A and B are shown apart, each in its own frame.
Chain A
Amino acid sequence: MTSDKKRTLIPVGPYHPLQEEPEHFLLYVEGEKVVEIDWKTGYNHRGIEKLAEGMSYDQVTFLVERVCGICSTSHPIAYTNAVEDLCGIDIPDRAKYIKSIVGELERLHSHLLWLGLAGHYIGYDTVWMWAWKYREPVLEIMEAVTGNRNNYAMMKPGGIRRDIDDGDIPIIMKMVDELKPQLDLLLGAVQDDPMIHKRTKGVGILTPEDARAYGAIGPTARASGVDVDVRRDHPYAAYDLVDWDVIVTQNCDVFDRAAVRILEMYEAIKIIKQCLERLKKVKGPIDADIKEVPPGHGLGHAEAPRGEVFHYVRSDGTNRPYRHKIRAPSYCNVPTFKVTCIGESVADATLILAAVDPCYCCTERMAVVDVDSGRKTLGPSDLVRLSREKTARLRRG
């Protein structure tokens, strides 16, 4: 960083109506190169942790379902795990399988959503249209299982709220089976396209050391060779009762973050099918009765599509939490931009920001400000254009 070079500030965010997490990134650039990055958040702080203190344990499940619009079931899963840990109870097996089915369906639709956006971003709209087309049947399966396409309201402390009818299992199984060839198509599209390789390989390197120092989790960490997945490490629901693999890759770049997500979708299908199969045999209640919540501590994890969701509940023995702390995965994954974006070009920085899967649409709010005059030099949507232009340039030669 020499002083004679002119620094420009690129603010990204903070708001976009499609965004569940408004955030503000400040990219400091010299020419094309990002030299410094800062992060501000809290624009849409809803005080959910505070609201939880005024609700009964049962009501909080519905509240935390609204923490995130995309992975809306991860928070109830982590929260109910925390309350069950606090009460020291184990839930019935049938509830465990259904918990896993809902969790994995959510991973499928969330990863497809991300993949589509990533494709659009680098100017590969076919991937975008395919991914979103194939996401639709996943939502339909979700509707068949839970009654809702989003905000499923399936979890409750001690179990789940609705059972799956035996008669529905073959239908759901058939729908899940039909997903696999579509995933093959997407996997092929990403694996074989030289342009995707050029745009994403070796871009946005997150070393395993940095991943650990920032507490990164989920696909962001697993693409950097960090073998961490709370489904296996801190088993909950039915993840220790079925056979599946944790996907870990070693290249630490954006390509691997995409690859981990695609390969995880195959694992998700594997888990769902096994759980559905077991449901035919495992009968019984779907919830354990919680009469009283004792004073003390409760911790719960859930592996959301973006990484570990963590809930801490402190009870004073009343029917409401004394304190309820929520840690979403992006809280730890987002700051890794401090290391992954530095030295990269602006067109790649947007892709790196997106590869963590935190806040995509922010870029629509993007403006470039000349630090000296404060004048805007680039309007909204220009960042997407920059990224897409780079792909077009590469394609030409």
Chain B
Amino acid sequence: MGQAEIDPITSLREKFSDRIKELYEKSEKRYYVLIEPADLLDFVDYVYNHLKARYIIVSGLDTPKGLELVYHFALDKLGKVLSLRTVVPIEKPEVESISGLITGAQWIEREIMDILGVKFLNHPDPRRFILADDWPEGVYPYRRKK
């Protein structure tokens, strides 16, 4: 179960060189990688299954560019955190679910679906999670007023 020997950031860069839109090294312990939503599953598969990173959580936020999802992974052996960022357009907020790869991500995806209205494609159980049963359809509490 050990994490890969070679520097994971270098290996990620080599593997996906042309598909990384932006790699931001905030510090030697914090990396933010901006990717296209269509590439998400490939990246998550590589980071989780090949680099053996630990899944932490997904953060969702409403930005002027669209709805941004930040997938946080911990490289515990190295003390680093790798965050994959992707932005989906607010007109069509859809992205593949990562729950097929990481079982534990089901619940946070359901929460983001509730609060931001992102649709996770191929989610195994896309029911409401934290919103009340009588909450109106199409109202997302964490979206910002334009």
**Chain A residues close to B by CB (< 8 Å):** 39-42, 45, 47, 49-50, 85, 88, 208, 212-216, 228, 230, 233-235, 296-297, 299, 308, 310, 312, 314, 322-323, 325, 327, 331-332, 335
Interface centre among B30, B79, B104, by most chain A C-beta atoms within 10 angstroms, is: B104
**Given A233-B79, A335-B106, does the pair A327, B56 have CB atoms closer than 8 Å?**
yes
Task: Contact check, B59 vs A233: say whether CB atoms are below 8 A apart.
Answer: no
Task: Contact check, B76 vs A233: say whether CB atoms are below 8 A apart.
Answer: yes
Task: Contact check, B57 vs A325: say whether CB atoms are below 8 A apart.
Answer: yes
A166–chain B nearest beta-carbon distance, Å:
33
Give the residue of A50, A235, A327 whose beta carbon is less than 8 angstroms from that of B141. Answer: A50
Task: Contact check, A213 vs B74: say whether CB atoms are below 8 A apart.
Answer: no
Is B142 part of the contact surface with A, judged by Cβ < 8 Å? yes
A147 to B142, CA, bound (A): 36
Task: Contact check, A331 vs B108: say whether CB atoms are below 8 A apart.
Answer: yes
Task: Contact check, A213 vs B59: say whether CB atoms are below 8 A apart.
Answer: no
Q: Which of B13-21, B35-43, B129-137 contacts A (4 or more CB under 8 A)?
A: B129-137
Give the residue of B61, B81, B102, B129 whose beta carbon is less than 8 angstroms from that of A299. Answer: B81
Task: Contact check, B32 vs A297: say whether CB atoms are below 8 A apart.
Answer: yes
Is B107 part of the contact surface with A, judged by Cβ < 8 Å? yes
Task: Contact check, A335 vs B104: say whether CB atoms are below 8 A apart.
Answer: yes
Cβ contacts B46-73/A at 8 Å (1 or 0 each)? 0000000011110111000000001010
For A208, the chain B residues whose CB sits under 8 A away are 1
For B27, the chain A residues whose CB sits under 8 A away are 85, 88
A46–chain B nearest beta-carbon distance, Å:
11
**Given A85-B27, A323-B61, A327-B57, does the pair A233, B74 have CB atoms closer than 8 Å?**
yes
Given contact pairs A85-B26, A327-B56, A332-B57, enumerate 10 new A-B contacts (beta carbons under 8 Å).
A42-B114, A42-B131, A230-B76, A234-B74, A299-B81, A308-B56, A310-B56, A310-B57, A327-B57, A335-B106
Among B75-118, those with CB < 8 Å from A are 76-77, 79, 81, 83, 102-108, 114
Q: Number of contacts between A and B (CB, 8 Å)? A: 87
For A40, the chain B residues whose CB sits under 8 A away are 129
Residue of B nearest to A299 (CB): B81
For A85, the chain B residues whose CB sits under 8 A away are 26-27, 30
A to B CB contacts below 8 Å, 27 in the list: A40-B129, A42-B129, A42-B132, A45-B130, A85-B26, A212-B54, A213-B102, A214-B103, A214-B104, A216-B104, A228-B54, A230-B76, A233-B77, A234-B74, A235-B79, A296-B26, A297-B26, A297-B30, A299-B81, A312-B70, A325-B57, A327-B56, A327-B57, A331-B57, A331-B107, A332-B104, A335-B107
A230 to B30, CA, bound (A): 15
A323 to B116, CA, bound (A): 13
A323–chain B nearest beta-carbon distance, Å:
4
Give the residue of B29, B55, B105 whose beta carbon is less than 8 angstroms from that of A234. Answer: B29
For B102, the chain A residues whose CB sits under 8 A away are 213, 215
For A308, the chain B residues whose CB sits under 8 A away are 56
For A233, the chain B residues whose CB sits under 8 A away are 74, 76-77, 79
A371–chain B nearest beta-carbon distance, Å:
19
Task: Contact check, B81 vs A41: say whether CB atoms are below 8 A apart.
Answer: no
B126–chain A nearest beta-carbon distance, Å:
14
**Given A85-B30, A297-B26, does the pair A234, B142 have CB atoms closer than 8 Å?**
no
Residue of A nearest to B79 (CB): A234
Task: Contact check, A215 vs B55: say whether CB atoms are below 8 A apart.
Answer: yes
Residue of B nearest to A313 (CB): B59
